[in-house]
Amino acid sequence: MRFVLRSRNMLLICDYEMKSEYIYHFFLDARTGGPHAYVLNKTNYFKDEFFQVFYTSGKGDFPGRALINLRHIMRALYPLEIILNVLLILFDYFSGRILRENIIFNIHGGASLSPIIAARILKIPVLWTIHETVPSYKFLIKVGRWILGNKNSYIAVVSKRSAAVYGLSNAIFLPASVDESFWMSKSVTNTESIECNWSDLPGSVRSSIRVLMVGNLNPLKGADVLIDALSASKGGFNLKIVGRKLKTHQTFVDSLTEKAQIFERSGCDRRVDFLGWQSQERVRALLASCDIFILPSLSEACPVALLEAMAIGCRIVAADVGDVRAMLGNCPNSIIFEAGCVRELVKAIEETQLRIDFEDEIQKKSCVGPEWKISRVVEETAIVYRRLLDSCN
């Protein structure tokens, strides 16, 4: 039997007879985001050792088996969603969609309780990876820990801040990582830079600062804070935002559009481009050609977009959320500001503007620290998988 997994970045084909160890990944959301990038960054490194199957909650742009999604219809339906998804996972197991031996459930997200319950019923080893830092998840994580118990399971956190918020003192630290062999500015051609369509062509006299933000358009990503800060700053700016407009946050998206229109009317050299989803190659070109990468998030754990900007060697302005302060410890061209504070972000932007005006073009090189190197994270993750597989033999 042959299983084929397609995504925008890869095509994985695996014969069941060739590999006997499977990692089943469960995501609470089908929309491409941090947890999906967290897994996909490591997939090619595991392709000769483990085969990976993906389950996502609801239909979206991430490939895999779809679980039921009721909470986006009404939050009060989430308990029913949990029950139905447990039944769906049990059905897949007993019908043969999920193999019965040499498998692990790698469950992503603090609110993803359905696969935890199913795994306990089926006695399947679990690696539960926590990607959040918001305090509202405390109760759900407490429930999940109680269900897991101490049998054939590990809890991992992508940031040390997550461990502190949820009291997970014994959690394994498996942060997000970045492939520095791909995320290099020298890999970007002049043609790719020109195709980014900044207000000024590369090498021309700048009338505006090129600002890049990468993140889906939901309130926690802070795009509204960024537009407010640019509106209060002096000078011209071309802001490009890479990220999907989410139907679940349509009111927020509409308010952003209105803010962007007001910003553009405030000066002839002011422009906002909502680019939607973009390929990795296009994001790399945007990072390599921007003047400032800004992470205005109100909440993060270990943001993948920030790691990509660090690998490219961008000038960075980032909110003090999650593990951002530790991540930027080796980055001299970075400024950290208080999350949600427009005044501090304005100050950080203006300070960076001065650096752009008075410095020669910076040499863009990676400043990713050793803890976030993909080789280390892959090695540590493989060790955890092996321990779990050995526990069921």
CATH of the domain at 21: 3.40.50.2000
Q: Are residues 365 and 382 in the same domain?
A: no
CB 92 within 8 A of CB 24: no
Only one residue has tokens 């999920």, namely 98
What is the pLDDT, as a whole number, of residue 7?
Answer: 37
Question: Minimal CA–CA distance to 29: which of 66, 76, 80?
Answer: 66
Which pair of tokens denotes residue 135?
């305090």
Q: How many CA atoms, within 13 angstroms, populate the side-chain half-sphere of residue 341?
A: 15
| Per-residue tens of pLDDT for the chain, all 393 residues | 333 343 333 334 344 444 579 999 999 876 667 888 899 888 888 888 899 899 988 766 666 788 998 888 888 999 999 999 999 999 999 999 999 999 999 999 999 999 999 999 999 999 999 999 999 999 999 999 999 987 889 999 999 999 999 999 999 999 999 999 999 999 999 999 999 999 765 444 567 899 999 999 999 999 999 999 999 999 999 999 999 888 888 999 999 999 999 999 988 889 999 999 999 999 999 999 999 999 999 999 999 999 999 999 999 999 999 999 999 998 999 999 999 999 999 999 999 998 887 665 677 889 999 999 999 999 999 999 999 998 876
CA distance 270 to 260: 9
Q: What angle do CA 117, 118, 121 make, to 5 degrees?
A: 90
The answer to whether position 379 is within a domain reads yes
* Structural domains counted in the chain: 2
The answer to whether position 180 is within a domain reads no
Question: Minimal CA–CA distance to 108: which of 155, 48, 74?
Answer: 155
Q: Are residues 165 and 281 in the same domain?
A: no
3-state class (DSSP) for residue 195: coil
**Phi, then psi, of 117 in degrees rounded to 5:** -65, -45
The answer to whether position 197 is within a domain reads yes
Q: Are residues 63 and 191 in the same domain?
A: no
Q: Are residues 285 and 189 in the same domain?
A: yes
Q: Are residues 23 and 111 in the same domain?
A: yes
Question: Minimal CA–CA distance to 208: which of 260, 269, 253?
Answer: 269
Which pair of tokens denotes residue 331?
């980055």
Q: Are residues 122 and 192 in the same domain?
A: no
What is the pLDDT, as a whole number, of residue 60?
Answer: 60
CA distance 311 to 190: 19
Q: What is the pTM of this model?
A: 0.89
The answer to whether position 243 is within a domain reads yes
CB 292 within 8 A of CB 306: no
CB 112 within 8 A of CB 27: yes
What is 158-195 written as a DSSP string?
SSHHHHHHHT-TT-EE----B-TTTS-GGGS-HHHHHT
Q: Are residues 66 and 122 in the same domain?
A: yes
Tell me the pLDDT tens digit for each residue of 243-279.
Answer: 988 888 899 999 999 999 999 998 888 999 999 999 9
Q: Are residues 197 and 163 in the same domain?
A: no
Distances (CA, A) of 202 to 210, 351, 361: 11, 23, 12
Mean pLDDT, the chain, whole residue set: 89
Q: Are residues 127 and 219 in the same domain?
A: no
The answer to whether position 138 is within a domain reads yes
Q: Are residues 171 and 204 in the same domain?
A: no
Which pair of tokens denotes residue 332?
């001299």
Tell me the pLDDT tens digit for each residue of 232-241.
Answer: 999 999 999 9
CA distance 335 to 71: 37
Based on its alpha-carbon atoms, the radius of gyration of the chain, rounded to whole angstroms, reads 22
Q: Are residues 385 and 347 in the same domain?
A: no
CB 41 within 8 A of CB 54: no
Crossing angle (nearest 10°) for helices 223-232 and 342-358: 60
Instruction: Quote the distance between the C-alpha of residue 241 and its chain's center.
Output: 15
Q: Are residues 320 and 361 in the same domain?
A: yes
The answer to whether position 190 is within a domain reads yes
Q: How many CA atoms, within 13 angstroms, populate the side-chain half-sphere of residue 73?
A: 10
CA distance 315 to 223: 18
Range of the domain at 25: 2-175+373-391
Tell me the pLDDT tens digit for each residue of 273-296.
Answer: 999 999 999 999 999 999 999 999
